[in-house]
Amino acid sequence: MRQVVLDTETTGLEVRQGHRLIEIGAVELLERRPSGRTFHTYLNPGRAIDEGARAVTGIEDEFLLDKPKFTEVVDDFLDFIRGAELIIHNASFDVGFLDAELAMAGNRGKVTDHASVLDTLVMARERYPGQRNSLDALCKRLGVDNTHRDLHGGLLDAQLLADVYLSMTTGQVVLDLAFDAGAPSRHHISLQGFAITARPKVLRASEAEAELHEQRLQAIDKASGGATVWRTLVDEPVESGASVA
Question: Which residues does the annotation mark as catalytic?
Answer: 152
Distance of CA 70 to the CA centre of its chain: 24
Q: What is the largest CA-CA distance in the chain?
A: 81
Beta-bridged to residue 7, according to DSSP, are: 25
CA–CA distance, 88 with 83 (Å, rounded to integer):
15
Q: Which helix (H) or strand (E) holds 30?
A: strand 21-30
Regarding beta strands 116-119 and 85-88, do their DSSP bridges make them parallel or antiparallel, or are they unpaired? Answer: parallel
Where does 120-191 show beta strands of DSSP type E? 188-190
Cβ neighbourhood burial of 176 (10 Å; 0-12, 13-18, 19+):
middle
Residues 6+ apart with CB under 8 A from 22: 9, 10, 11, 42, 43, 45, 49, 53, 57, 59, 64
Distance of CA 46 to the CA centre of its chain: 30
CB 50 within 8 A of CB 11: yes
Phi first, then psi: what are they for 85, rounded to 5°? -95, 120
Query: Letter for the amino acid at 93?
Result: F
Cα end-to-end distance, the chain, whole Å: 38
